Structure formats: structure tokens, C-alpha cells
Structure 1
Amino acid sequence: MAGRKETVSDKEILRFFEQSPDHFLTTNEVAEYLDFSKQGTRKRLYTLADEELLDFKKVGRNPAWWLTDDGRDFLSDADS
């Protein structure tokens, strides 16, 4: 795979959603946590949504992201 090496795992990203007191997060909030660019963060989040681990809804021009039941199951399986 070309491009920058991933320094944060999918599990770490999903865990951030799981531990957040908010029901949804913005791309900017996740980018700040990851210390990634907004563009790079958006790409990772859309990939996780394609895998049905996250879902989103456009709010204006920006997506609001949340952890799906499949995402919670993924985290639960990863802990087993």
C-alpha cells in the first residue's frame, strides 16, 4: 500500500469513539485526537464506514460520525 504508514490502528480510532461522552464526533475532533490532517482523518473514517464499523450523517457540509453496533462488536472481539 502506497502512502504514509498508519501510526494509529483502527482499534484505537474506534476506542476513541467508544470512550467519548459524545454521541457523535466531527472529523475535526478526531483529527485533533489523532494528530492527523483533516483530509487523512476523513479518509480513515470513510474506510471504517465502508467496513460498517462507523456510520455518519452529513450535517450541513460536514459529516458527524458515530460508532456502530458492528464497531462495538469489533472492539469486543478484539478484547477477547
Structure 2
Amino acid sequence: MPSGPDPAASPREILLFMVQSPDPAFTAKEVGDAFDKTRQWGHQQLQKLQSSGYVDSKNPGGNSRFYWVTEDGQRYLSETRQS
């Protein structure tokens, strides 16, 4: 299996999905489902976005972690907006 970035969705596409949804926060499963991928894929993508400062997360207890777009993530979307 080839390694490297998964071409299924760019960081920008994932952030757009998150900000365009009426939901304020997402689980890795929800992100994976939105792109027809696994929870693990969603978790990996969200971890990369969190490392870049574009999303933040909170574990309210149990097995779920919730992610939301940060101000830096909003700024990234604004700066990379396609004309």
C-alpha cells in the first residue's frame, strides 16, 4: 500500500466541511463518514489539522473526542479561498 498523503480530501476540504455544517464540533467518525473513509482516517486527518493549529479538540469523557475549527483554521480558509 503506498504511503504519503491520502488524495481523498485536502486539509482545506475537511475544514470547509466542518465550517459549512450546522454542527459546532465533530468526531473522527463523523469526518471519516463524510468522506466515505474510516474513523481511523478521520482521526489521522484531524490530528494533522490539530498539529497545524487549524482545529482544536476536547475529550468530554468516554471514548469520544470532539474537534472544531480554530481562528487559525478560519484564517487558513480565508487565505486559500479560490477565486
**TM-score by shorter chain over 0.5:** yes
Which structure has more helix as a fraction of its residues?
Answer: 1
Distance in 1 (alpha carbons) for counterparts of 2:13 and 2:5: 17
In the aligned structure 1, how far is the partner of 2:17 from the partner of 2:23?
10
Unaligned residue ranges in structure 1 (runs of 5+): none
**TM superposition shift of 1:3:** 4.9
Structure 2 counterpart of 1:64, which letter? F
Please give the alpha-carbon distance, in whole angstroms, between the structure 2 residues aligned to 1:59 and 1:6: 31
Deviation of the 1:68 alpha carbon: 0.3
Q: Quick one: distance in 2 between partners of 1:24 and 1:71?
A: 13
Does the residue aligned with 2:57 lie in a helix, a strand or coil?
strand
Taking structure 1 as the reference length, the TM-score comes to 0.89
The letter for the 2-side match of 1:22 is: D
Partner of 2:75: 73
TM-score by length of 2: 0.86
Alignment of 1:45-56 (within 5 A): 45-56=46-57
Residue 13 (structure 1) shift? 0.1
Runs ≥4 residues deviating over 2 A: 3-6
Instruction: Map 1:1-80; keep pairs closer than 5 Å.
Output: 2-3=3-4, 5-60=6-61, 61-79=63-81
Q: Which has the higher contact order (CA 8 A, sep 6+)?
A: 1
Which runs of 5 or more structure 2 residues have no equivalent in the other structure?
none
The structure where strand makes up a greater share of residues is 1
Q: Which stretch has the larger CA shift, 64-73 or 24-33?
A: 24-33
Count matched residues: 80
What is the RMSD of the two structures over their aligned residues, measured on CA atoms? Answer: 1.7
